[in-house]
Amino acid sequence: MKQFTLQPDSNPQKPTNFLNQLNEQQKKAASHVNGPLLIIAGAGSGKTRVLTYRIAHLLQKQYALPQNILALTFTNKAAREMQERIQDLIGEKAGGLWMGTFHSIFSKILRFEADKIGYNSQYSIYDTTDAENAIKLILKELNYDPREIRPRTIQHKISDAKNQLISPEQYQHRFVQSTLDDITARVFQIYAKRLKQANAMDFDDLLIKPIELLEEHPDVLEKYQDRFRYIMIDEYQDTNHAQYKVTRLLADKYQNICVVGDDAQSIYSFRGADISNILNFKNDYDDALEVPLEQNYRSTKFILQCADSIIKKNEKQLDKTLWTDNEDGDTVTLLENFDERDEANRIVNYINDLKLRHGYQNNDFAILYRTNYQSRIFEESLRRRGITYQLVGGLSFYQRKEIKDVLAYLTLLVNPEDEQALLRIINEPSRGIGNKTLNQLLKKARATGQSVWTILHDVESADIYKPAKAKIADFIHMIESLKEMLETGTPVLDVTKKMLEKSGYLKALVEENDAKALTRRDNVLELQNAIAYYQQNTKNPKLSNFLQEINLITDSDKYDEDKPAVTLMTVHASKGLEFPVIFIVGLEENLFPMGPREGEEANIEEERRLFYVAITRAEKQLFFSFSKLRYKYGEEQRQARSRFLDEVDSGVVRTETGATIQQKNNHFEESGGNDGSTTIEYEHNWKSPIHSKKPSETSSTYEYEYDDDPFRTGAQVMHPKFGAGKIIQRSGSGKDTRVVVFFKNRGQKTLMLRAAKLKVLS
């Protein structure tokens, strides 16, 4: 193993004492210089601090120059924070670091070396939507109906293959086991060729093309090995096989690789993350030093005890036990709700109550859920109470149609071969180039093997409608004139404004003159603000670099921690964040933990790690919440509470009344009815102090029945179609009264009482 160090400065201008601010384990990791290093960093143990101080130490002691350090993160936000902290510690010496996400760093390398793998430096980056659109077009050309063979499904399968470094040819010969696999193989072959022809790469290519580059060009590999003598990787447990391979190649010469991660927080297997990368690190690097960081600075003792009790149930894990000097804090509160509307209303009541009693602000709260669709009911409840919120993981600003349209125009100015960008805006707004014309152009492009942009320049020879030829000529002239403006040094913002004017895009939105169109216009104007900001804050602003930054924004980068709003997000999106108060909602079987996807086995260990991540986001107070009933597929269905509630340490979890939780597998009591059917008895404690109103006012329309009402909860009934059953829930009043009946042979049904033709059995 080769080692490389610069000699420490014998008379440094600034004394180095910042390592004394670390605890002993942190200091041990941050002061390690040569050789592989594995830092097992538990939740809230200061891993970002350690990485920051280690880089600052290498630079301050002159073991490395800034350009010799490669620091890889999973969010741009993490990279920016680390850069700022290093700057604060050592000042100008931090300039020139290679620090950023895997995708941003390797896309930068590929810009420099693109010609070696058959691309030019102005290549486009396809996001998931662009990739799906390209695949949709291929499916149509292969005579498959995209409504039956979903482009998203094919895209996922291709992405999985790429992340495992499986080529289209390998997929065709070794991985076809079904009709869908066969279709995927055919699409994969064509898709790869189309990307190359369009001078475009998708997100997965940004990881696998560097491997191709480094393996096929030993001189390039040695160049970057010598440049990146010290490599640091954050969140190593989230790396996939391609990320593992490319960093292994770069680290092979000097082996000064430092990885930081927590196997207990490995939650991205659906994206191809491979937990074995961190579990096997010491097998890959025999002489690796392992440093565990076990002191938690974030959470109270009770929250940490709760987290530790759940993660200890997993079998595959590295040995560590978190501890803290923080106070005991409040026990975890378990909320047991009637249905999802009750759950949302009660949590909003808690938020208001905690703000009054403890002085919390809106941005001190986060509501975490397993799936995005759960946000709707919380959004409604927060809006009704006038509480500002931010939704993380919804439709991104840069994914809105009008923004994608404008970006497609700008993309053509740097890469006119980009077929997806061209097809998106050649007739947007309408300029008389219809689908029939486009289909003819595509047909000729496929037959000749040329790009659509090349075909457009020879449109006179094409067999298409004559007026469309004139429109195409006008379109080409517009794009070429805008390209010329850009190439002669006209600022990006000015080119954008001229493009919006010449294309008529902004004018078309104004002329629509409805609320939605005006909102879209405002979004386009906001994009101009983003371009202006980029232009003013970048030394050498280039349109291609701006487009690259936009394409590489991650979900975590969309979270604004300074916004005075309650945060709604999935648990996946919350990773790396922390809040004083956390509500983990929907803790029910087949929701959290999520049930297995079709054709797959349930990954309970990963679901448990996901629950652990959710728990460890909390600093001071933590709430668990589940509902006994939940709407699914248009009908209310009974829910079994999550098995995780039976696994946590019951000593640190209390119900709202202060009682310890009863750990059992199902919160419904089942008994046999007179008709032999299974009936369900349901109880709910309406005496919680958080219920400031009667149940009918806080959670939909639940009301108590009068004694002389025959259709009461528990009544045995007969339905002319469904047979015998038992009323298990009742809501509404008068003509709007609804009942939920559990029928022996037909299961649970929600019925309007006035139309159900029910008869009470004596």
Annotated binding residues for ATP, written as ranges, equal: 41-48
The active-site residue, picked from 265, 548, 621, 698, is: 265
Question: Is 235 noted as a catalytic residue in this protein?
Answer: yes
Question: Is 683 noted as a catalytic residue in this protein?
Answer: no
Question: Is 194 noted as a catalytic residue in this protein?
Answer: no
The active-site residue, picked from 113, 130, 204, 234, is: 234
Sorted by sequence, the CB contacts under 8 Å of residue 515 that are 6+ apart come out as none
The token duo for 758 is: 């029910």
- Nearest 5°: phi and psi at 15? -65, 145
> Is there a contact between 560 and 363 (Cβ–Cβ < 8 Å)?
no
Residue among 653, 660, 662, 655 at smallest CA distance from 689: 655
Please give, one letter per residue, the 3-state secondary structure of 125-193: EECHHHHHHHHHHHHHHCCCCCCCCCHHHHHHHHHHHHHCCCCHHHHHHHCCCCHHHHHHHHHHHHHHH
The active-site residue, picked from 47, 194, 229, 608, is: 47
SS3 state at 636 = strand
One-letter amino acid at 457 equals H
SS3 state at 569 = strand
One-letter amino acid at 405 equals D
> Is there a contact between 96 and 122 (Cβ–Cβ < 8 Å)?
no
Sorted by sequence, the CB contacts under 8 Å of residue 274 that are 6+ apart come out as 239, 240, 241, 244
Rounded CA-CA distance 347/646 in Å is: 22
Please give, one letter per residue, the 3-state secondary structure of 98-109: EEEEHHHHHHHH
The token duo for 384 is: 């009704």
Rounded CA-CA distance 40/319 in Å is: 9
Strand 566-570 with 389-391, pairing: parallel
Question: Is 128 noted as a catalytic residue in this protein?
Answer: no
The token duo for 101 is: 């996400």
> Is there a contact between 594 and 370 (Cβ–Cβ < 8 Å)?
yes
Helix extents (H) in 590-675: 604-615
DSSP lists the bridge partners of residue 99 as 71
* First vs last C-alpha separation in the chain: 86
* Helix-strand-coil split of the chain, %, nearest 5: 50, 15, 35
Rounded CA-CA distance 504/429 in Å is: 7
Rounded CA-CA distance 141/144 in Å is: 7
SS3 state at 40 = strand
242: left (phi over 0), alpha (psi -120 to 50) or beta: alpha
The token duo for 435 is: 């689908």
Half-sphere exposure of 215 (CA within 13 A, CB side): 11
Sorted by sequence, the CB contacts under 8 Å of residue 157 that are 6+ apart come out as 180, 181, 184
The token duo for 580 is: 């004083």
Question: Is 48 noted as a catalytic residue in this protein?
Answer: yes
The active-site residue, picked from 130, 235, 339, 417, is: 235
Question: Is 754 noted as a catalytic residue in this protein?
Answer: no
C-alpha angle with apex 54: 545 to 254, nearest 5 degrees?
A: 80
Q: Beta-carbon neighbour count of residue 582 at 10 Å?
A: 28
Residue among 573, 556, 553 at smallest CA distance from 367: 573
DSSP lists the bridge partners of residue 629 as 638
The active-site residue, picked from 49, 617, 641, 643, is: 617
Helices 151-163 & 128-141, crossing angle to 10 degrees?
Answer: 110
SS3 state at 709 = coil
Rounded CA-CA distance 575/577 in Å is: 6
| Radius of gyration for the alpha carbons in the chain, expressed in angstroms and rounded | 30
Rounded CA-CA distance 701/545 in Å is: 55
Residues marked as catalytic: 47-48, 234-235, 265, 617
